């Protein structure tokens, strides 16, 4: 099969580009990755979508289509191999490339100098304390060598035995500053919740960072950011330190003055914050706040630190029916009468009076999920 003479190579490459599905990090057409869109989702749905992002199925489909197109004829193969933009969204599986590092280098060269998006998965057998061979580390070194042109970096270590320090120390080596000069979106995804002990990483500079997701247990990575890297972040999904909270964590969070959406997973140690930190969390542009609360006292401690004059949407997830939702949310509502939307997930407030909503006179929408409302609340909703 020959390329039609009247079809420019550039046009054919553009057709191929639209034939190959975009990475699952981009499920919408607004040009932003998933972490930049969690404010538009129900929090439970967002976490499910996040898990799907790293399931590997779409990466397989993308590679399969690209390989099928290259197999049609030599002309098509040459067009695909020479079109750099067809290689700027890459899924790198450490389990494979640990054995073929030269193949990874060749793959990265195909995108030339274009900004690249990398989804990086590490399997348990490749990142364990007993497996610290140079080949496994070589993959991380290759990725680091491309940091100067990575615009989106998503790292999945859910299949590792924790976010192993052998992995972290190579990706962000201690006593070295890691520079990511054009990085705009960062996802560090891990389903493990326990914090690693004795993990030290070097400082991280990402001055253009716009959105960031750091799963629970990885707060030591957050604490390694150069403060100036946080000034432009507008969307942040983060877990509170699973160790005793320290002032540094909150001081860095307070630097995020551009925040428009914040999803914060509070650990059972959050109640220690109020008494240990003088930091005020003032977010003048924040419009959406989602809190994952394990204990009522966690929220009470955080609420006193928050100053959110532009907040419009508030979500609270209780993770269980016996969280005694009622009165501890009242003070926060009094501080934020401008709220237009409240979402409550997994909270028992049968004994809570509907008067608690009186301060939010502009409330337009109240969404209850997996929760047990009182009859008074049901009557209130019906009257409206």
Instruction: State how far the alpha carbon of 299 is from the alpha carbons of 118, 222, 242, 248, 267, in Å.
Output: 35, 21, 15, 19, 10
> pTM score, two decimals?
0.80
> Exposure pattern of 129-138 as b/e (b: 16+ CB <10 Å)?
eeeeeeebbb
Q: What is the mean pLDDT of residues 92-96?
A: 74
Instruction: State how far the alpha carbon of 44 is from the alpha carbons of 40, 173, 179, in Å.
Output: 12, 34, 33
Task: Share the mean pLDDT of the chain.
Answer: 73
Contact in structure between 125 and 162 (CB atoms under 8 Å): no
Question: What are the sequence ranges of the domains in the chain?
Answer: 243-378
343 vs 314: CA distance, rounded Å: 6
Cα torsion 347, 349, 355, 360 to 10°: value is 0
Q: Which of 252, 192, 236 is nearest to 218 (CA)?
A: 192
* pLDDT score for 47: 55
* Position 250 pLDDT exceeds 70: yes
pLDDT digits (tens, 9 = 90+) for 334-370: 889 999 998 888 776 666 666 778 889 898 988 877 7
Res. 165 pLDDT band, cuts 50 70 90:
low
* pLDDT score for 219: 74
The CATH code for residues 243-378 is 3.80.10
Q: What is the mean pLDDT of residues 79-98?
A: 75
316 pairs with which residues across the strands? 291, 344
Backbone angles phi, psi at 26, to 5 degrees: -110, 90
316 vs 264: CA distance, rounded Å: 10
* pLDDT score for 22: 62
Contact in structure between 151 and 182 (CB atoms under 8 Å): yes
């Amino acid at each position: 099969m020959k390329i039609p003479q009247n079809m420019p190579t550039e046009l054919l490459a553009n057709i191929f580009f639209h034939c190959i599905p975009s990475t699952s990090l981009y499920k919408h057409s607004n040009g932003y990755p998933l972490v930049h869109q969690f404010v538009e989702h129900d929090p439970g749905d967002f976490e499910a979508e996040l898990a799907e992002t790293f399931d590997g199925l779409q990466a397989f489909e993308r590679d399969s289509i690209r390989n099928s197109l290259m197999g049609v004829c030599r002309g098509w193969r040459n067009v695909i191999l020479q079109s750099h933009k067809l290689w700027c969204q890459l899924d790198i599986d450490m389990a494979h490339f640990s054995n073929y590092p030269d193949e990874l280098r060749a793959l990265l060269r195909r995108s030339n100098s274009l900004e690249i998006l990398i989804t990086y998965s590490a399997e348990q057998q490749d990142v364990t304390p007993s497996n610290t061979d140079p080949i496994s580390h070589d993959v991380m070194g290759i990725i680091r060598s491309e940091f100067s042109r990575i615009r989106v970096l998503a790292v999945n270590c859910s299949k590792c035995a924790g976010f192993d320090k052998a992995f972290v120390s190579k990706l962000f080596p201690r006593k070295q500053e890691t520079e990511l000069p054009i990085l705009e979106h960062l996802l560090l995804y891990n389903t493990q919740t326990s914090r690693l002990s004795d993990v030290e990483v070097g400082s991280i500079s990402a001055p253009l960072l716009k959105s960031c997701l750091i799963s629970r247990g990885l707060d030591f990575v957050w604490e390694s950011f150069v403060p100036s890297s946080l000034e432009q972040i507008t969307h942040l999904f983060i877990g509170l330190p699973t160790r005793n909270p320290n002032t540094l964590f909150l001081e860095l969070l307070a630097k995020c003055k551009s925040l428009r959406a914040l999803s914060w997973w509070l650990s059972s140690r959050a109640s220690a914050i109020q008494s240990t930190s003088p930091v005020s969390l003032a977010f003048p542009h924040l419009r959406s706040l989602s809190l994952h609360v394990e204990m009522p006292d966690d929220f009470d401690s955080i609420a006193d630190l928050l100053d959110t004059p532009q907040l419009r949407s508030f979500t609270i997830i209780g993770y269980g029916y016996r969280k005694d939702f009622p009165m501890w949310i009242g003070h926060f509502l009094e501080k934020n009468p401008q709220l237009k939307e409240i979402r409550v997930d997994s909270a028992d407030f049968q004994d809570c009076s509907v008067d608690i909503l009186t301060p939010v006179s502009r409330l337009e929408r109240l969404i209850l999920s997996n929760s047990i409302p009182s009859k008074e609340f049901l009557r209130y909703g019906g009257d409206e």
